[in-house]
Structure 1
Amino acid sequence: MNKLIPFLIACIIFVSCGIQKEAKDDSSAAVNVMAYYVPREGYMPDQLPLEQLTHIIFSFSKVIDGKMQFRNENADSIMKQLVAQKEKYPQLKVMIACGGWTADGFSDAVFSEQSRTKFIASTIDFIEKYQLDGVDIDWEYPAIPAGGTKARPEDKENFTLLMKGLREAMDQLDRPQTLTFASAGWKRYYKNVELLEVMKYVDYMNVMTYDQAGGGTTFATHHTALGHRSLADIAETPLGVAMTQQNAELPEGEDLWEPQSAEEIICFCVDKGVDPKQIVIGAAFYGRGWKGVPPENNGLYQTNTGPISGGTSYSVLLTDFTEDDGYEKHWDAAAKAPFLYNLADSIFVTFDDTVSVKLKTQYAKENNLGGIMFWQLSSDSKDEASLLKAIYTEASKK
């Protein structure tokens, strides 16, 4: 899910977008809190704050020889340890995410009825082996070659057939199963899936409302903004000027370039007819940074000379990107997102913090979304600055 995606932006969608807000009900349940999870030292199954989650999605299994399988032999024992935690946390749903960025094999695995049957049967075997509560399909992306993956036009219909087949097979199991898929946070993706057909078979669509700017983006901008901004809002900035020029050169009928945001893509999906209760908003437990960023507007929407090197997980941002290291923290009220700027080193960093994930959780509650998810749990801190703690605290409020 942590991917380098270029800007793929489209037409303006007004923020209100028809999502029906309901009066607050003190008896209403908290929204789902779903964590994608990649194990690492210090974040093994018995070391996780599982009481703060409704779903944990182990990442990843892969499509290998047309079947769902683990590539890493250590994953088997860790998955079993994770499922064993349900004895202590019976509310927790343990799922498997199949795929991920640069994960190939989906297009071939679902190409024919025979190959789909093989993959679906292997998925059921996988669920039964580990006694899982569901599956998340992270195909990046149907009909769009990305990260070196194979894609063909038939993927659009075959993705629907895959999700239909999975739903039917999972419903035959002796316990309830949750079926989700990871969807992109940009509009071109939705031209390549039969969105409303797919939504008939899944419980939730986990919208990756991050990677709105990848490492190769030539402008320093937000990668996980909640707040909608139109092109007019940034028109005088270098990014706005570049977008305006590109729009002028586009053939008639092509999607226009616009700043991306979670509000925009969620409104887009609701306007397409998706039930808000099936939409899960995404948060990022990692940042993106660029070097060579000039100081105007504290680097926001300015040019850059390339991505910074090194890790930018949230826990690392807290320890290595501090005021003592020359980083000043800023808040963009329009984007509802924080960013860092280092004047001495000309570095700009975009990320989610406790305030922005709280606002995303509020947005999910106020707009009756299915919940909030994030990539990924072992990038969080374990102190009072924990992003999951901020999400859980807000999600639990009546």
Structure 2
Amino acid sequence: MNKLISILIACIFFVSCESQKSTKIEKTDVPINIMAYYVPREGYMPDQLPLEQLTHIIFSFSKVIDGEMQFRNAESDGILKQLVAQKEKHPQLKVMIACGGWTADGFSDAVFTKESRSKFISSTIDFIEKYQLDGVDIDWEYPAIPAGGTKARPEDKENFTLLMKGLREALDQLDRPQILTFASAGWKRYYKNVELLEVMKYVDYMNVMTYDQAGGATKFATHHTALGHRSLADIEQSPLGVAMTIQNAELPEGEDLWEPQSAEEIIRFCVEKGVDPNQIVIGAAFYGRGWTGVPPEDTGLYQPNTGPISGGTSYSVLLTDFTEEAGYEKHWDPVAKAPFLYNPTDSIFVTYDDTKSIKLKTQYAIENNLGGIMFWQLSSDSKDDSSLLNAIFTEALKK
């Protein structure tokens, strides 16, 4: 009898453990995709990542080298293999590769002819097969627009479509489903230089970079990753509003007018263009942008600056270094649905996403039937329960 009881207890314990494992996996069944771009950093390797809170992780970056997809850094090979191996513990996870990135050249030449496109596409398939990946994200910044020293030509517009078509056809030949995405800009001029609806026929998702709405060279302190839309009329009395109004008056007829940028506005724009909301992934920033020499009027918002601040502004650094003790006051813009920091002593303004704005972006994605939320990038997050990823994940589970 004692032996029988022992067996029954062991069975109950086994079932209980399996149930706990099962529950953990079921928790990842969130109503939207949660996609992380990931740049490896010391102390945050694949076995240390909160992968149970993700649906997709996009390893960043491979590059276009000699017309082919390759790693520039040899150590990336081993780290990507470690990341793919984590799928044994996290079967819900899709591991992808991002090719390109800011200042990454080579796309325009690689897709210029049928032969060069075939070469690049073939190398991409070989890359995916080598690492047994679940898909690829093309981060070409930007077709037909020279940026960050990259080559661009008018033919990029059509060639980008041909690239995505060729990739889709090649990926569909593999023996397992493949995800094809691309990173798109969060401003309207970009969409004049891609055949948007044609491209969307071949991709699963468009990851809209609804961050960097203001860069280091921006002459005014403003939001860089705002969700909520504010019209130019709303800020016309501010220094930024005055500057935009003057610039608009000098623009040639037909040019896009300067206006405050927001995730809501660019997503509305894409949907009105005919993009299926289910294919749109909203972007969040796990880093900030800041400027010096910002006067105190309106706690620095929309005021001129004298240049970008030096040093890192990852979310983890913002939590530890940009504190009230260091002189920073935290403010919330209810229209832009975004936070910002202002240091009146040092005249520094910082724009970023926090847990509140991240939750609002997650709600927005769900309520508007978007394909999901993505962010740049995972290694910049805090490594505790106050992390931005945890805020996204817990908010998504409420729905």
Q: In the alignment, residue 203 of structure 2 is paired with which amino acid?
A: V
Residue 32 of structure 2 corresponds to residue 31 of structure 1: yes
Distance in 1 (CA, whole Å) between partners of 2:40 and 2:337 is 30
Q: Which has the higher contact order (CA 8 A, sep 6+)?
A: 1
Distance in 2 (CA, whole Å) between partners of 1:189 and 1:162 is 17
CA-CA distance at 1:281 after TM superposition = 0.1
CA-CA distance at 1:30 after TM superposition = 1.2
Distance in 2 (CA, whole Å) between partners of 1:252 and 1:168 is 41
SS at match of 1:229: coil
CA-CA distance at 1:248 after TM superposition = 1.1
CA-CA distance at 1:42 after TM superposition = 1.5
Distance in 2 (CA, whole Å) between partners of 1:246 and 1:76 is 47
Distance in 1 (CA, whole Å) between partners of 2:44 and 2:391 is 18
Distance in 1 (CA, whole Å) between partners of 2:67 and 2:237 is 50
* 1:280 aligned partner: 281
Cα distance per residue 1:161-208 (max 9 Å; x no partner): 000000000000000000000000000000000000000000000000
* 2:306 aligned partner: 305
Question: Which has the larger displacement, 146-155 or 245-254?
Answer: 245-254
Distance in 1 (CA, whole Å) between partners of 2:398 and 2:62 is 34
- Structure showing the higher helix proportion among its residues: 2
* 2:16 aligned partner: none
1:128-167 residue pairs with structure 2 within 5 A?
128-167=129-168
* 2:186 aligned partner: 185
* 2:6 aligned partner: none
Structure 1 runs (4+) greater than 2 angstroms displaced: none
* 1:212 aligned partner: 213
Structure 1 segments unaligned to the other structure (5+ residues) = 1-27
SS at match of 1:324: coil
1:42-61 residue pairs with structure 2 within 5 A?
42-61=43-62
CA-CA distance at 1:29 after TM superposition = 5.2
CA-CA distance at 1:82 after TM superposition = 0.1
Cα distance per residue 1:130-168 (max 9 Å; x no partner): 000000000000000000000000000000000000000
Distance in 2 (CA, whole Å) between partners of 1:368 and 1:85 is 29
1:306-325 residue pairs with structure 2 within 5 A?
306-325=307-326
CA RMSD of the aligned region, Å? Answer: 0.7
Residue 125 of structure 2 corresponds to residue 116 of structure 1: no
* 2:4 aligned partner: none
SS at match of 2:208: strand
Whether contact under 8 Å (1:284, 1:376) holds in the other structure is yes
Distance in 1 (CA, whole Å) between partners of 2:291 and 2:305 is 6
Whether contact under 8 Å (1:30, 1:397) holds in the other structure is no
Q: In the alignment, residue 65 of structure 2 is paired with which amino acid?
A: I
Q: In the alignment, residue 365 of structure 1 is paired with which amino acid?
A: I
TM-score of the pair, normalised by structure 1: 0.93
TM-score of the pair, normalised by structure 2: 0.92
Residue 397 of structure 2 corresponds to residue 385 of structure 1: no
SS at match of 1:323: coil
* 1:232 aligned partner: 233
Structure 2 segments unaligned to the other structure (5+ residues) = 1-28
SS at match of 1:75: helix
Kindly name which structure, 1 or 2, has the bigger radius of gyration based on alpha carbons: 2
Cα distance per residue 1:328-384 (max 9 Å; x no partner): 000000000000000000000000000000000000000000000000000000122
Distance in 2 (CA, whole Å) between partners of 1:114 and 1:395 is 44
Residue 107 of structure 2 corresponds to residue 99 of structure 1: no
* 2:77 aligned partner: 76
SS at match of 2:339: strand
Distance in 2 (CA, whole Å) between partners of 1:374 and 1:272 is 24
